[in-house]
Amino acid sequence: MDILLQQIINGLVQGSVYALVALGYTMVYGILGLINFAHGEVVMVGAMVALAVSGMLLAAGLPPLLVLLLALLVAMAVCMALGYAIERIAYRPLRNAPRLAPLITAIGVSIVLQNLAMIFWGREYHAFPQLLPGASHGFGGAIINDVQIIIIAVALLMMAGLLVLVHRTRLGRAMRAVAENPSAAALMGVDINTVISVTFMIGSALAAVAGLMVSANYGIVHYYMGFLLGLKAFTAAVLGGIGNLRGAMLGGVLLGLIESLGAGYIGDLSGGFFGSNYQDVFAFFALIAVLVFRPSGLLGERVAERA
């Protein structure tokens, strides 16, 4: 029983990590209908910047929590600038282009960021300093530590914050208007370009937070870390219904749970024929099953049959 509980906790933590990244994906998608494939790399840049800053500040002898805060702020600032630049350079000129064109530039941006990071920060895996308290808590035979609790909390807070932003503020209304119909929104006096830029910057700031939390949890940073994370987060976002903020959270947590329970019990369920090596197969089958019955994800709205 304590093993099952532990697997659920593992799934929640892993799922919250996915959700953190998926929120950024879904934010941009909700407004633009564009899969920002470079989002995973922005997360990586956030982690790398946070690592560099905290390395410098720790050397200067500042207390860890202050270092964490400063590192987070710098990482967010850098990522926001980066997000703005990516949108301006790689996506905006293609707004009227065929649908797949921005997908290719997104892949290009992703390759460029990865290799730039490799040149700047080297090919090694870097250890991320422990800035958050790491005490473990026993909990019905299972164990959870402070960093993990913080990750779950941050993911929930971020989702709540974004919901408020999108549904309760002027900016949010502008965002929804742009998402609904950009031309009509422009006629109503919404500055589309600004709204989209701001959306990208918010998404990128979220990526910085995610990058920091991920590296704080696993204690390791590498220029290649963004790819797989981005992929899983994208899967999570689609599972929940891409473009829907609650869906990103739900999809992330579900994917995390499916993975951890899959890895933990798939062997027993299949009589030892399949093992944890089929964890991703299990996750993808779950995704396909969901999409067959709900083609727009769990919380996604039904895609209108375009006429």
Partner 1 sequence: MPYKHLPLAILFAAVLAACGKSGTPAANSSAPAATGATSDELVVKIGASAPLTGPQAHIGKDNENGTRMAIEDANTKGIMIGGKKARFELLSEDDQTDPKAATIVAQKLVDAKVNGIIGHLNSGTTIPASRIYSDNGIPQISPSATAVAYTAQGFKTAFRVMANDGQQGKVLGEFAAKSLNARKIAVIDDRTAYGQGLADEFVKSAQANGAQIVTHEYTTDKAVDFAAVLTAIKGKKPDLVFFGGMDPQGAPMLKQLRSLAMDVKFMMGDGGYTPKLIENAGAAAEGAYASLPGVPLEQMPGGKDFSQRYQAKFNQPIQLYAPYCYDAVNVMIAAMQKAGSAEPAKYLSELAKTEYDGVTAKITFDEKGDLKGGAITMYQVQKGKWMPLQTLGGSAPAAK
Partner 2 sequence: MNLKHKPLLAALAIALLLLPFATDAMLGRGWVRIADFALLYIMLALGLNIVVGYAGLLDLGYVAFFAVGAYNYALLSSPQFGLHWPFWVVLPLGALLACCFGVLLGAPTLKLRGDYLAIVTLGFGEIIRIFLNNLNAPVNITNGPQGISMIDPIRAGEFSMGGEHQLFGLAFPATHLHYYLFLLFTLLVIFVSRRLEGSRIGRAWMAIREDEVAAEAMGLNTRNIKLLAFAMGATFGGLSGGLFAGFQGFVSPESFSLMESIMILCMVVLGGMGNIGGVILGGVLLVLLPEALRNGAGPMQQALFGKTLVDPESLRMLMFGLALIAVMLLRPAGLWPSTQRRRELSPDEMISHQEQDTVYDNSK
Which residues here bind partner 2, judged by CB under 8 A? 29-35, 89-90, 93-105, 107-112, 114-116, 118-119, 178-183, 231, 234-235, 238, 242-243, 272-273, 277-278, 280-281, 284-285, 287-288, 291-292, 295-297, 301, 303-307
CB 26 within 8 A of CB 243: yes
Three-class SS string for 24-82? HHHHHHHHHCCCCCCHHHHHHHHHHHHHHHHHHHHHCCCCHHHHHHHHHHHHHHHHHHH
Binding partner selected for residue 3 from partner 2, partner 1, none, CB under the kind-specific 5 to 8 Å limit: partner 1
Is position 224 an interface residue for partner 1 (rule: CB under 8 A)?
yes
Q: Which does 44 bind (CB under 5 to 8 A by kind): partner 1, partner 2, none?
A: none
CB of 220 to partner 1, least distance (A): 5
Q: Which tokens belong to 38?
A: 């470079």
Binding residue for partner 1, selected from 260, 283, 287, 300, defined by CB under 8 A: 260
281 binds partner 1 (CB under 8 A): no
| Shorter beta-carbon distance to partner 1: residue 17 or 106 | 17
Q: Which helix (H) or strand (E) holds 216?
A: helix 192-218
Burial 249-271 (b: 16+ CB within 10 A, else e): bbbbbbbbbbbbbbbbebbeeee
d(CA 267, CA 287) in angstroms, rounded, equals 20
Distance CA 280, CA 269 (A): 16
Interaction between residue 193 and partner 1 (CB under 8 A): no
User: Cα(171)–Cα(27) distance, rounded to whole angstroms?
Assistant: 13
Is residue 55 part of the contact set for partner 1 (CB under 8 A)? Answer: no
Return the one option of partner 2, partner 1, none that residue 303 interacts with (CB less than 5 to 8 A, by type): partner 2
Positions 103 through 142 that interact with partner 1 (CB under 8 A): 115, 118, 122-127, 130, 134, 136
Beta pairing, strands 142-145 & 220-221: unpaired
Q: For partner 2, which is the closer residue by CB, 148 or 279?
A: 279
In whole angstroms, what is the distance from residue 85 CA to residue 154 CA?
Answer: 26
What is the three-class DSSP state of 261?
Answer: helix
Q: Nearer to partner 2 by C-beta: 268 or 305?
A: 305
Using CB under 8 A, pick the residue from 65, 104, 228, 269 that binds partner 1: 228
Largest CA distance in the chain: 63
Asked if 64 touches partner 1 (CB under 8 A), the answer is no
**Which residues are 139's β-sheet partners?**
142
Q: How far apart are the first and last CA of the chain?
A: 53
Give me the least distance between CB of 287 and partner 1, in Å please. 18
Closest separation in Å from C-beta 252 to partner 1: 13
Q: Count residues contacting partner 1 (CB under 8 A)?
A: 41
Burial class of residue 59 (count of CB atoms within 10 Å of its CB; 0-12, 13-18, 19+): exposed
Which range touches partner 1 (CB under 8 A), out of 12-20, 64-72, 98-106, 288-296? 12-20
Q: Which residues of this protein are in contact with partner 1, per CB under 8 A?
A: 3, 6-7, 10-11, 13-14, 17, 115, 118, 122-127, 130, 134, 136, 143, 145, 218-220, 222, 224-225, 227-228, 259-265, 267, 275-277, 279
